[in-house]
Chains A and B, each alone.
Chain A
Amino acid sequence: MKRVFTALMVLAVFSVLMVLSGCKKTPPPRPTPPAPTTSTPAPAPTGGPAPTVEIQASPSTVERGGQATLSWKTQNATSVIIDGGVGNVSETGSVVITPRDSATFTATAKGAGGEARASTRVTVVSPKEAGVVTSSDIDNILKAIADGRIKDVFFAYDKSELSPESRSTLEQNAKWLRQYPGATVVIEGHCDERGTEEYNLALGDRRAQGTREYLVQLGVTAEQMETISLGEERPFTPGQDEAAYSQNRRAHFTVKR
């Protein structure tokens, strides 16, 4: 009985369908298959919606040593990577950066639907005279001078040329100074007492200026360094033998508050 009922129902449905389709006078034309779209940005999707990503920096221009905030938003992404040293990040978020030089940050979002990229540029400019250096920065620099991490450089008698050892010392000093481009560094030039006062004032100046010139070549900001010759006025040690004299023929670093 049941089998007969089911067959009769199928027959009925089928008949209704046949009648309905038969009501039209002419059958509709079969639709043409859709043409492929050239605007698809991602490679052939394997399935799922394409990821999207936006990124921006605020501010987009900073002074060297200053901070900017990178923020991004993604959709349909399972992994987000930002270059320029930022790395793996969450789908949406922000991070504070302190860029040394101008750079472009690119966020790459990957998901089941493909990959998307977006970029933003941060421009780094030199700090203004008023400086982006804090009081504790100055303390740090003074401490580094006091405990010899920023060292004096020394000179031969009556000479202002930089020895290989002096150059090496200045390379170390430069690493420090480049971290604080807002600090005003004063390079003092000194002589031992054996020459005459007038000549020694000029010689001390040549030692200080030569030291500054080399530091500029090492990438220290020229504008942040001042020089002053102190001739034979301020010896490091008052002794009158070569051991003392050699300690007095120097370029010495200090920083202005």
Chain B
Amino acid sequence: MIVRSLAQILILLSTVGLLSAQEPEIVIRPPITGVTRLAVADFQSKAAATAETDSALKVFNDVLWKDLDFSAFFEMKSKSFYPNKPIRVPLDVTFEDWQSSVVNADFLLFGNVQLAGGGAVVEAYLYDVKTKQQVLGKRFTAASTTLIRNVAHNFADEVVFQLSAGTSRGVARTQIAFSSQKGGGKEIQIVDYDGANPRTVTANGGLNKFPEWSPDNSRLAFVTRLPDSSRWEIWVQEVSGGRSVLSTPSSYASSPAISPNGQRIAFSSRSQEATDSDIYVANVGGGGTRNLTNHQGIDTSPCWSPTGQQIAFISDRSGGPQVWVLDADGSNVRRLVLEGGHCDSPEWSPDGRLIAYSWQAPTQWKHDVYVVEVATGKIFQLTVGGASNESPHWSPDGRHIVFQSTRSGSKQIFIMNADGKNVRQITAYGINESPAWSGYSKREQ
């Protein structure tokens, strides 16, 4: 018993040691080979400034800056170093000013906004400062000024796609779904990746938990217990519209996950008379239900690999809950994380290389977000501090992670770079948990 805890302490210490030794290298791929210095000049009103244009521009410029900064592709110097002259169109630009030793930008973003008929037209430019060549020139139309955030998100993603040479489509247009306390229950909500624009998906007064997106973003799968019901149900719901209820073998059902090809769904459940849960798969439309693990011990929290060939899950069959993996037909069951303690919520990275999960050390009360390299079993710690950090989920470009943390005093949703840096809080009120990051919407695929 003592030897075992000593071993665990040593493993924990060596993990921390590993972290500091390998910090620059971990997780963000491809590695940043050089730094792209980006200047983002404030967009201006095309015509004379009014109170309306001022407020629209304030929002637009703020969102654009935060999107580009969060992408973790660019070095962005503070605007206080920028040349003073406002820029609306390419003719306004004195490129030499932007090559000065202070700003030294590689690329320059600028543009203008015109309000017309309740909506807005945005002209946006991306220029190579040294060659003075246009890289992007776009016109966006927003039907109403309230949609000006979306224009900023759109352009930010285009800039990221362009300047990352196609490595990432950007995450500015993505969504995050999560479970939010409401009255005595919990409802599924969606927000923009930055926390803006909240929408309700459920309003049934029950407990709605553990949302996961379908690969084309059109649907969410989650588990629901209607008020006073003695049954949990798996719902597959169109983001705007109808739903279906998946048939499950008993009153316990949890953690649904739709496969990468959108056709199968994995979940935790058990047969009527069993005491221990297993990982099941079924067709998303119903039927074809199979018990994949059929083993003593709790099996829960399944997640698919990006190819759909494997499923990672949590099992306590060897003692406490650990990360295990199996092939999608139920064969080749193997344990991945050998640290002891309490693991949960495994999520496979989009490039298949890593699995993020939460881990609670044996003698601690709090959890932290970790990633394990699937091929080698090497483990990296992403969150630190006194709060409890759980339920990680990857962004669709694999460069960021959303998770749940108590660091602000209550359970809230946070986003960060996949190396643990640049943490941002995106919900602030009530209790918000188990986030899931959307993929790219149908339109963009």
Chain A contact residues, CB within 8 Å of chain B: 158, 160, 186, 194-199, 201-203, 205-206, 209-210, 213, 226-230, 233, 256
Contact = CB atoms under 8 A, between A and B. Distances in A.
A206 B270 CA distance: 10
Given A158-B342, A199-B298, 11 more contacts: A196-B344, A197-B390, A197-B434, A201-B254, A202-B254, A202-B268, A202-B299, A202-B300, A209-B274, A226-B230, A228-B231
Interface string B218-257: 0000000100011110000000000000000001101100
24 contacts: A158-B342, A186-B230, A195-B360, A196-B321, A196-B360, A196-B367, A196-B390, A197-B209, A197-B344, A198-B255, A198-B314, A198-B345, A199-B298, A205-B277, A206-B275, A206-B276, A209-B274, A226-B230, A227-B251, A228-B229, A228-B232, A230-B207, A233-B186, A233-B207
B183 to A, nearest CB: 13
Interface of B: 186, 207, 209-210, 225, 229-232, 251-252, 254-255, 268, 270, 274-277, 298-301, 314, 316, 320-321, 342, 344-345, 358, 360, 365, 367, 390-391, 433-434
B312 to A, nearest CB: 13
A210 B298 CA distance: 13
Nearest to A203: B298
B207 A205 contact: no
A243 to B, nearest CB: 15
A48 B188 CA distance: 88
Contacts of B344: 195-199
Contacts of B298: 199, 202-203, 206
A199 B321 contact: yes
A195 B298 CA distance: 14
Given A196-B342, A196-B345, A228 B301 contact: no
Contacts of A158: 320, 342
Contacts of B367: 196
Contacts of B274: 209
A158 B57 CA distance: 53
A250 to B, nearest CB: 16
A12 B167 CA distance: 152
Most buried by A among B207, B270, B274, B277: B277
A237 B54 CA distance: 51
Contacts of A202: 252, 254, 268, 277, 298-300
Contacts of B209: 197, 201
A228 B277 contact: no
Given A202-B254, A229-B232, A196 B358 contact: yes
Contacts of B390: 196-197
B442 to A, nearest CB: 29
Contacts of A229: 232, 251-252
Most buried by B among A160, A198, A206, A213: A198
Contacts of A196: 321, 342, 344-345, 358, 360, 367, 390-391
Most buried by B among A160, A209, A227: A209
A236 to B, nearest CB: 15
Contact of A213 (B229, B275, B391): B275
Most buried by B among A197, A203, A210: A197
Given A197-B433, A198-B255, A198-B300, A228 B230 contact: yes
Contacts of B320: 158
Nearest to B316: A199
A230 B276 CA distance: 16
B214 to A, nearest CB: 20
A18 B186 CA distance: 121
Contacts of B434: 197-198
Nearest to B321: A199
B365 A194 contact: yes
Most buried by A among B300, B390, B433, B434: B300
Nearest to B231: A228
Nearest to B209: A197
A233 B181 CA distance: 11
A47 to B, nearest CB: 66
Pick the 9 closest A-B CB pairs, nearest first. A196-B344, A205-B252, A209-B275, A228-B230, A202-B298, A226-B230, A202-B300, A198-B301, A202-B277
A143 to B, nearest CB: 19
A256 B230 contact: yes
Contacts of B345: 196, 198
Nearest to B365: A194
Contacts of A199: 298, 300-301, 314, 316, 321, 342, 344
